[in-house]
């Protein structure tokens, strides 16, 4: 069925209309903001090494939103488990040592690989960026995936530190009983604020909270605009770049350097579009990717490129760092900032209400809904808006949360006549990855799109 769908697809309006060639079709050049982005990331992780000496409190928890509240406290650092586990995942030797240390304590090898890397690093008391593991003073985490708080429950028990979790409620569809879910989330946020003040003996600064929210929406808006730029042909950025560049937005939105960096990046990307600068000069087909990549083997995107296939984005890269606005026709737009929405946040109440609404509406959370419809619609929309010729699913054994519904999404794509390919792997555990088989799978998919391997110098 998949092959039939592919044939139909290629012989109709969707098919790549570009002739096969090994000549570069577009100019390319390195991204100027790349180095700055890497520096921002490294600064963030290095900060934990000196945090104690600087009198900073260390929090840990899931990457989803918890730190919005934590950063309303002065002098706090937030170690988000997922990006930290991903960093380790990119280094197979470190990942082996850490995940095996976790498994030796009885935790199953099929649990979230970010978590196993993080817990192993904790058990071995080895911080991947140098020195001992940064002992958290508190655990504070949002919870939208089964893994989230169960992970930090173990961390809190290991360090015997106070802990608080906030449940982000999901329903059958993102739109179902949204007001009630917002109210539930808001009420927990108030409890979380009270807990933070009581437990840390630090003042929760409402002005700072509001400022963090402004930074958050500005950062997300800018990231959304950057992603929208990638709708251009040729794509100015590829998936590898997106996965690196989204880090500041995902983790460092609270600091003013991040929107400043994204403003510069947006200008640069716009200029690339204007000048026709491609991420990959041989772009012949555009691929939507699904799930986190295997961080230890980013070559998956190189294999596609050898055939002229460019991975132009994914729900994870787009929506992980941005809650897009969707209009009545289903079209995605970069989200408006608080100011652009005409909202004035004057009090804690205003801010909490806004945050609850923002979080409950996150498109990324469609993967946690009890119905595949939302995510299926999102895929179809991304394929349309980003002019994709096919979808490549990374069946990610390392993250049950994001891997949910993947096969239903795949079926929905096939039904819509969109070519799909898939490979099996694990985002942060190279032991669950078969390189030869993955190359075969990707090459077959590229060939099914009518592409042949480029003869590159």
Partner 1 sequence: MVLKEKLVMDRFAEVVKNRHDYAREWKQRTGGRVMGYFCTYMPEEILIAAGMMPVRILGSHEPQDVTERHIYSMFCPFCRDCLAQGLKGRFEYLDGIGMAHTCLHIRQAYSSWVLHVPTKQNFSYYISMPAKPQSPRARPFLIKELEAFKKAVEEWIGRPVTNKDLDKGIEVMNTNRRLMRQIYELRKADKPLVTGTECMQMVCASQCMDKEEHNKLLAEFIKNELPKRTGRDAGTRLMIIGSEDDDTEFLAMAESLGATVVADDHCTGSRYFWNEAPKSEDRIAAIADRYIAKVPCPEKDWEERRRWTHISKLVDEYKVQGALMIQQKFCDPHEFDIPPLMKMLKEKKNVPSLFLEFDVTVPVGQFRTRVEAFLETMQLEM
According to CB under 8 A, which one of 32, 75, 125, 167 is a site residue for partner 1?
167
According to CB under 8 A, which one of 8, 343, 411, 439 is a site residue for partner 1?
411
Task: Name residues whose C-beta falls within 8 Å of residue 373's C-beta, 6 or more positions apart in sequence.
Answer: 173
Is 285 a binder of partner 1 (CB under 8 A)? no
* 408 vs 443 by CB, closer to partner 1: 408
Phi (first) and psi of residue 213, to 5 degrees: -65, -40
Is 172 a binder of partner 1 (CB under 8 A)? yes
According to CB under 8 A, which one of 177, 198, 302, 341 is a site residue for partner 1?
177
* 49 vs 411 by CB, closer to partner 1: 411
- Spell out, one character per residue from 118 to 157, where the chain touches partner 1: x when CB under 8 A holds, - when not: -------------------------x-xxx-xxx-xx-xx
Structure tokens at 207: 């002005």
| The pairing of beta strand 332-333 with beta strand 325-326 | antiparallel
Least CB distance from residue 182 to partner 1, whole Å? Answer: 10
* 225 vs 404 by CB, closer to partner 1: 404
Which residues face 333 on adjacent strands?
A: 325
CA distance 287 to 300: 12
Is 355 a binder of partner 1 (CB under 8 A)? no
According to CB under 8 A, which one of 72, 73, 405, 446 is a site residue for partner 1?
405
Is 353 a binder of partner 1 (CB under 8 A)? no
Q: Is 9 within 8 Å of 16 (Cβ atoms)?
A: no
Task: Name residues whose C-beta falls within 8 Å of residue 402's C-beta, 6 or more positions apart in sequence.
Answer: 291, 292, 316, 367, 396
- Spell out, one character per residue from 181 to 200, where the chain touches partner 1: x when CB under 8 A holds, - when not: x-xx--xx--x---------
Which residues face 78 on adjacent strands?
A: 59
Least CB distance from residue 214 to partner 1, whole Å? Answer: 26
| CA dist 98 → 85, 108, 175 (Å) | 10, 13, 40
Q: Is 34 within 8 Å of 236 (Cβ atoms)?
A: no
Contacts (CB under 8 A) with partner 1, residues 368-397: 368-372, 395, 397
Q: What single string gives the DSSP state of each residue in 210-266?
A: HHHHHHHHHHHHHHHHHHHHTTSSS-SS-HHHHHHHHHHHHH-TTSTHHHHHHHHHH
Binding site for partner 1 (CB under 8 A): 105-108, 110-112, 143, 145-147, 149-151, 153-154, 156-157, 163-167, 169-172, 176-177, 180-181, 183-184, 187-188, 191, 368-372, 395, 397, 400-401, 403-408, 410-411
């Amino acid at each position: 069925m998949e092959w039939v769908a592919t044939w139909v697809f290629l012989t109709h309006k969707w098919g790549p209309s570009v002739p096969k060639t090994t000549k570069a079709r577009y100019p390319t050049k390195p991204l100027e903001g790349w180095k700055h982005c890497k520096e921002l990331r490294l600064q963030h992780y290095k900060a934990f090494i000196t945090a104690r000496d600087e009198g900073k409190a260390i929090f840990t928890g899931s990457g989803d939103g918890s730190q919005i509240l934590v950063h309303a406290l002065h002098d706090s650092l937030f170690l988000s488990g997922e990006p930290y586990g991903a960093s380790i995942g990119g280094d197979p030797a470190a990942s082996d040592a850490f995940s095996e240390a976790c498994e030796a304590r009885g935790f199953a090898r099929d649990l979230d690989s970010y978590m196993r890397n993080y817990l192993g690093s904790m058990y071995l008391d080895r911080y991947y960026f140098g020195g001992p593991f940064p002992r958290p003073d508190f655990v504070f985490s949002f919870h939208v995936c089964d893994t989230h708080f169960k992970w930090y429950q173990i961390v809190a028990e290991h360090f015997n530190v106070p802990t608080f979790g906030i449940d982000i409620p999901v329903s059958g569809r993102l739109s179902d009983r949204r007001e009630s879910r917002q109210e539930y989330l808001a009420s927990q946020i108030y409890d979380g604020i009270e807990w933070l003040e009581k437990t840390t003996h630090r003042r929760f600064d409402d002005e700072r909270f509001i400022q963090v929210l402004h930074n958050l929406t500005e950062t997300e808006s800018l990231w959304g605009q950057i992603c929208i730029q990638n709708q251009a042909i040729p794509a100015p950025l590829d998936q590898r770049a997106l996965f690196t560049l989204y880090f500041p937005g995902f983790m460092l939105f609270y600091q003013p350097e991040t929107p400043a960096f994204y403003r510069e990046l947006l200008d640069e990307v716009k200029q690339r579009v204007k000048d026709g600068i491609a991420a990959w000069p041989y772009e012949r087909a555009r691929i939507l990717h699904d799930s986190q990549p295997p961080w230890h083997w980013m070559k998956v995107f190189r294999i596609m490129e050898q055939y002229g296939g460019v991975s132009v984005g994914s729900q994870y890269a787009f929506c992980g760092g941005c809650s897009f606005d969707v209009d009545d026709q289903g079209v995605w737009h970069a989200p408006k900032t608080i100011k652009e929405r005409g909202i004035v946040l004057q009090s804690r109440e205003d801010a909490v209400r806004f945050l609850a609404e923002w979080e409950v509406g996150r498109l990324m959370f469609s993967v946690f809904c009890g119905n595949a419809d939302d995510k299926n619609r999102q895929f179809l929309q991304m394929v349309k808006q980003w002019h994709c010729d096919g979808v490549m699913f990374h069946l990610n054994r390392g993250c049950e949360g994001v891997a949910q519904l993947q096969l239903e999404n795949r079926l929905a794509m096939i039904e819509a006549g969109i070519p799909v390919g898939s490979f099996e792997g694990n985002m942060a555990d190279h032991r669950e990855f078969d390189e030869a088989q993955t190359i075969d799978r990707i090459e077959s998919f590229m060939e099914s799109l009518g592409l042949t391997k480029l003869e590159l110098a």
